[in-house]
Structure formats: structure tokens, C-alpha cells
Amino acid sequence: MRARKRRFGGVRRGGYDGRMDASLYDEDIYAWAEQQAAALRRAASVPNGGPPDLDLKNLAEEIQDVGKTELRTTTSFIRQAFIHLAKLAADPHSRAALGWGGEVLRFLDDAAAAFAPGMRQAIDLGEVWRGAMRRAHATLRQYGVEAPPDFPAECPFGLDELLREEFDVEGAVARIRSLSGCP
């Protein structure tokens, strides 16, 4: 995976704006992959739309998979951060709590580094949250800790908050505990 700068500029927040941009590949690999896959599909649909020895339809799929892989990577980092936040909220006095807090920050830093603006509309934080809560509950049970039954059903965080450079782990845990009815 290529290392990218943590940038949110250059491409409008809604994703690719329809113009060919030579720097789009570097600034927003997800939007670039979507744009390139669409262009390849258009070329494949036109008779003599490209060199006959190129399999444009499958090339389009492969290029689009590049963007999907980046999206999965970003959501995976967010999911791992949520799992560690849930463990902190359920068992804040665990000997592992300090490590969990550090992991939250590391995973969110990695998510921010992998994030591209074109992903904004494709990231379903509710789905990521629910999957993370299932995993967190299962992990906690393995260690004899019961997560509060009233953990928030919906994600209590916004994407911008999660990707901010200074994420407040303690505040996030307090929010989850408050929404869960924990003291």
C-alpha cells in the first residue's frame, strides 16, 4: 500500500468533481479508481473502444478493486478503534486499559492516513459500529467481562471527529458510558 499524505484538500468534500485531475491518484485513490473504472467501462462499451488486446471490462473491475481495498482498509482501522473504545468503556479499570487507549489513537491515525475524501459517502459508520460492538462483546465475554447491555446501538461519533488529529479518547469513552447508562 502506498503511503499518502494526510490531506483533505484538493478534491471537493463530496468526492471527485468530474474533471480529470493528474494529482487525483495521489490525493484520492478511491475517487481515482472509481473514475478510471468508469472510463474503462465506457471504452469497453464502444466498438473499437480500445486496443483489442486489452480486456477493458476486467481491467475496470481490477482498478475499482484498488479503491475498494483502500476503503476496506480505512473502515477496518475505524472498526478496530471502536472495538478498543468499547473495551475501555466496559472495563475502564483493566490493566490493559492504557494499551487500549493507545491502540484507539493508533488505529484512528492509520484510518486518517488511509482516508481519501471520495470515501466519505461510502463509509457507513453505523454498520462499522455495529460490527465492532459484536466483536467487542464477544472479546469481553472471553475475559469474563460483560459489556453494558445498553451500549449505543448507533455510532455516537462522526467521521470528521474520528479523523481529527487530536481525538479525545477519554471523552469518547465517557460518551459511550453515558449513553450506556454507566456511572
Highest mean pLDDT (candidates 17-21, 28-32, 61-65, 144-148):
28-32
Domain for residue 4, yes or no? no
Within a domain: residue 106? yes
Does residue 169 form part of some domain? yes
Mean pLDDT of 100-122: 96
Mean residue pLDDT of the chain comes to 86
- Checking 79-83 for CB contacts under 8 A at 24+ apart, the result is 79/128, 79/131, 79/132, 79/135, 80/107, 80/132, 81/107, 81/108, 81/111, 81/162, 82/128, 82/129, 82/132, 82/133, 82/136, 82/155, 83/132, 83/135, 83/136, 83/139
Q: Is residue 12 part of a domain?
A: no
As for how many domains the chain has, the answer is 1
Position with higher pLDDT, 6 vs 41: 41
**What integer is the mean pLDDT of 107-118?**
96
Query: How much of the chain, in percent, has pLDDT values that exceed 90?
Result: 62
Q: Are 120 and 13 in contact (CB under 8 A)?
A: yes
| C-alpha to C-alpha distance for 104 and 123, rounded to whole angstroms | 18
- Whether residue 117 is contained in a domain is answered as yes
pLDDT in tens, 60-86: 899 888 889 999 999 999 999 999 999
In a domain, 99, yes or no: yes
Determine, yes or no, domain membership for 18.
Answer: no
Mean pLDDT for the stretch of residues 108-132 = 97
CATH number of the structural domain spanning residue 105: 1.20.1220.20
Residue-range definition of the domain harbouring residue 70: 24-179
Which pLDDT score, from 0 to 100, does residue 2 have?
32
